[in-house]
Chain A
Amino acid sequence: MAYKVTGIRFNQYLKELEKEYLIFAPVALLGKGAFTNTDSVRYQKITKLEEVELTIKTNFSVKEILLPITETLFYFNEDNWTEPKVHDKKILLFLRSCDIHGIKRLDDIYLRNGCEDPYYKVFREKVRFCLIECYESFANCFCASMGTNITDEYDMFIRPDGDYVYVGINNKEMSRLDERVVDLSPRFVMENKTKVSIPKELSKGLAQSVFWEEYSSRCIGCGRCSFVCPTCSCFSMQDIFYKENKNMGERRRVWSSCMVDGFTDMAGGHSFRKKQGDRMRFRVMHKFHDYKKRFGYHMCVGCGRCDDACPEYISIAHCANRLKSIVEEK
């Protein structure tokens, strides 16, 4: 069930929502892409539908809204600390099915792996989802293979159609409309060009396979795959102090990646996985093996952003399929 409203009416609706929600959606940042004259599509605060880029996959996932690249945990002076203020508005995110599944993985780590993370929990409770439909698969997507192409975990969905917008409401909290109602449910991509099949049993032997060595020569350890990934959630702690007053500063957490140098460095000089191939193995096994052992489903949601972003054209989809063929040959 959905409301059929004009584009102008939809923008009024967003304005209504804005009283209670900060609204974030994919926005094309002109000229901000990796190459000359290319755009970057990232999550930004929006006020009207025209600002939203619905036809391209975002370069960065919605993760950067829930887990900022740098997040202040507390401010300190010489011997006291204060937690940052939290705004009281709720958050409305425009996102695709794969990203909703991605947030489920973040919830696992930040709410269900040991104690609840206080910062994530406060933020997460305020988040509502506006589903963006995918009419056809983008390049490198393999959501259907990962079972993340379909979701019913949304509060509302939209389908722009010419001068009109269909607005499906799943959560009464979002109701502000009384226009004509039509029978409509969201469409999902049912098949992708890229198909991935994950071997059921990735054995210990495979983890030590020479297969990974090839990645040592190709991967440059830039960490882009992790940073664009909706489910990579590792961070490092960082203390800083202010130039103006060295007695004051803050403790932050910043995004980190198992693909970059220093991730496992310990005091005294010990570290693990020095070769990029080992790091690739670690990351791929987490996405398609270890995580499932712990949480019951694969970590990877098949959004393909890592494959989009890799400057060395390494494809995780291709890697997983190669693993499958190695396992089956045995």
Chain B
Amino acid sequence: MSNTYLPFKSRIIKIIPHTAIDYTFLMEYKGDVKPGQFFEVSIPKFGEAPISVSEIGEGYVGLTIRRVGLVTNTIHELQEGGVLFLRGPYGNGFDIDLFKSKEVIVAAGGTGLAPVKGVVDYFADNVHEVAVFSLIAGFKSPKDILYKADFEKWQRTINVIVTVDGSDDETYTGNTGLITNYIQDISIENQSMANVIVVGPPVMIRFSVAEFLKRGIREENIWVSYERKMCCGVGKCGHCKIDDTYICLEGPVFNYVKAKNFID
């Protein structure tokens, strides 16, 4: 029997720094993987952390990792050509087919953009496969903006709004204000048919979904992705459980009809 807890080695192909504390690691990986799924990433002696897939390419996956603890601090010290230990991918991930030929709006807060970025990448590259695609991405401040190069690329094919909560940087000329303000104003062609994906911190998800519901989006057309502490990723450790649902097994992507009943 194969042992699901044993990791495999993966070489770091490239490290892309976005901010002082957020880097994307392009990791060697051959195998099936969907946007929104996650890997348990580890360095022996330091520990494991669940990290979502932020990019999918031929022979590699991107993992965007923020330096916030022992494991991630140590990962940030690694260089290109170095090795990380992975197991996974785990979780259900986003079903790209579900959004094809529909009007799609993605609202992402901070690093919440990482798990949904594969969906954005896909439709920005294959824009004819979707009716309308809009992305509203919010960050704390200009220095927290991730994926700047990707935003420039995306802007050519899809509607992109980037906003920051506030800025003390006088050279910043972009949007300011909470994501919810932009949800109020975004043009929606067909409210009863449009699909919405909301990913971010719990508070951001709650208020963004509320705004979309006000705009007339149907509950069954709203998708959310949840982040929880996970030690195993395979339904055993219990940390991610909400009610009778295991985020690692049935999630992290949920339809809002189910997710609205979750009580942590």
Mark A residues whose CB is within 8 Å of B. Answer: 73-74, 76, 79, 81, 83, 109-110, 113-119, 121, 204, 207-208, 233-241, 246, 249, 251, 253, 256, 258, 263-270, 272-273, 278, 282, 285-286, 290-291, 293-294
Measured CB to CB, the closest approach of chain B to A271, in angstroms, equals 8
A-B contact count (CB 8 A): 123
Q: Which residues of B (28-55) have their CB < 8 Å from a CB of A?
A: 42, 44-49
Mark B residues whose CB is within 8 Å of A. Answer: 1-7, 9, 42, 44-49, 66, 68-69, 72, 83, 111, 201-202, 227-229, 231-232, 234-239, 241, 243-244, 246, 248-249, 261, 263-264
Q: Assess whether B66 is in contact with A267, with CB atoms less than 8 Å apart.
A: yes
Q: Could you jot down 14 A-B contacts, CB within 8 Å?
A: A113-B236, A113-B246, A115-B235, A204-B263, A234-B238, A235-B236, A238-B47, A241-B45, A249-B44, A251-B44, A263-B239, A267-B69, A293-B243, A293-B244
B248 surroundings in chain A (CB, below 8 A): 114
A81-B238 in contact given A118-B1, A264-B228 (Cβ < 8 Å): no
Q: Assess whether A291 is in contact with B244, with CB atoms less than 8 Å apart.
A: yes
A240 surroundings in chain B (CB, below 8 A): 45
A253 surroundings in chain B (CB, below 8 A): 231-232, 237
Give the docked Cα–Cα distance between A110 and B45 (Å): 25
Q: Assess whether A239 is in contact with B231, with CB atoms less than 8 Å apart.
A: no
Measured CB to CB, the closest approach of chain A to B224, in angstroms, equals 15
Give the docked Cα–Cα distance between A238 and B2 (Å): 21
Give the docked Cα–Cα distance between A233 and B228 (Å): 18
Measured CB to CB, the closest approach of chain B to A169, in angstroms, equals 31
Measured CB to CB, the closest approach of chain A to B85, in angstroms, equals 9
Measured CB to CB, the closest approach of chain B to A322, in angstroms, equals 19
A121-B237 in contact given A74-B6, A208-B263, A293-B244 (Cβ < 8 Å): no
Measured CB to CB, the closest approach of chain B to A229, in angstroms, equals 12
Q: Assess whether B236 is in contact with A233, with CB atoms less than 8 Å apart.
A: yes
Measured CB to CB, the closest approach of chain B to A79, in angstroms, equals 7
Summarize B's interface: helix, strand, loop or mixed: loop
B44 surroundings in chain A (CB, below 8 A): 76, 81, 239, 249, 251
Q: Assess whether A237 is in contact with B235, with CB atoms less than 8 Å apart.
A: no
| Top 9 closest pairs, chain A to chain B, by CB | A114-B235, A234-B238, A272-B264, A293-B244, A290-B244, A113-B235, A76-B44, A267-B68, A294-B244
Q: Assess whether A286 is in contact with B241, with CB atoms less than 8 Å apart.
A: yes
Q: Assess whether A117 is in contact with B238, with CB atoms less than 8 Å apart.
A: no
Residue of B nearest to A238 (CB): B47
Give the docked Cα–Cα distance between A278 and B246 (Å): 18
A207 surroundings in chain B (CB, below 8 A): 263
- Pick from B1, B47, B246: contact of A121, CB below 8 A: B1
A290 surroundings in chain B (CB, below 8 A): 241, 243-244
